[in-house]
Amino acid sequence: MLDAVFDSLRDAQKKLALESGENKNKALLAVAEAIRKDETKILLANTYDIEKARQTDTKESLVERLRINEDRVHEMIQGVKNIANLPDPVGKVRAGWTLPNGLFIESLTVPLGVVAIIYESRPNVTVDAFALAYKAGCSILLRGSSAALNSNQALVTAIKYGLKAGGGIEDAVELASSGEHSEVNEILQARGKIDVVLPRGGHNLIQYVLANARVPVIETGEGNCHIYIEPSADPQNAAEIICNAKTQRPGACNAVETILVHRDALSALAPLLTEKLAGKVKLRCDPQAKAAFGETSAAAQALLLIEDATEEDWETEYLDFILAVKTVDTIDQAIDHIKRYGTGHSECILTDDLKSSERFLREVDAACVYVNASTRFTDGGAFGFGAELGISTQKLHVRGPMGLEALCSIKYLIRGSGQIRP
Chain residues binding a copy of itself by CB under 8 A are 14, 17-18, 97, 99, 103, 105, 110, 112-113, 191, 195-196, 210-211, 214, 216-218, 234, 237, 240-241, 244-245, 248, 339, 357, 361-363, 365-374, 376-378, 382-384, 394-397, 399-400, 409-421
Beta bridge partner(s), residue 115: 140, 196
Other Cβ atoms within 10 Å of 178 Cβ, number = 13
Closer residue to a copy of itself in complex, CB, 17/63: 17
Closer residue to a copy of itself in complex, CB, 184/241: 241
Closer residue to a copy of itself in complex, CB, 54/362: 362
Min dist CB 179 to a copy of itself, Å, is 28
Min dist CB 313 to a copy of itself, Å, is 21
Burial level of 231, CB count in 10 A (0-12/13-18/19+)? Answer: middle
Min dist CB 412 to a copy of itself, Å, is 5
H/E segment holding residue 197: strand 196-200
Min dist CB 14 to a copy of itself, Å, is 7
Q: How far apart are the first and last CA of the chain?
A: 50
Min dist CB 306 to a copy of itself, Å, is 24
Closer residue to a copy of itself in complex, CB, 185/301: 185
In sequence order, which residues have a C-beta less than 8 Å from that of residue 383 and are 6 or more positions away?
Answer: 377, 400, 401, 403
d(CA 307, CA 332): 26
Dihedral of CA 61/146/223/324: which sign?
Answer: positive
Min dist CB 60 to a copy of itself, Å, is 24
Closer residue to a copy of itself in complex, CB, 285/398: 398
Closer residue to a copy of itself in complex, CB, 54/191: 191
List helix spans (H) across 86-226.
124-135, 149-165, 181-188, 203-212
Q: How far is CA 45 from the centre of its chain?
A: 26
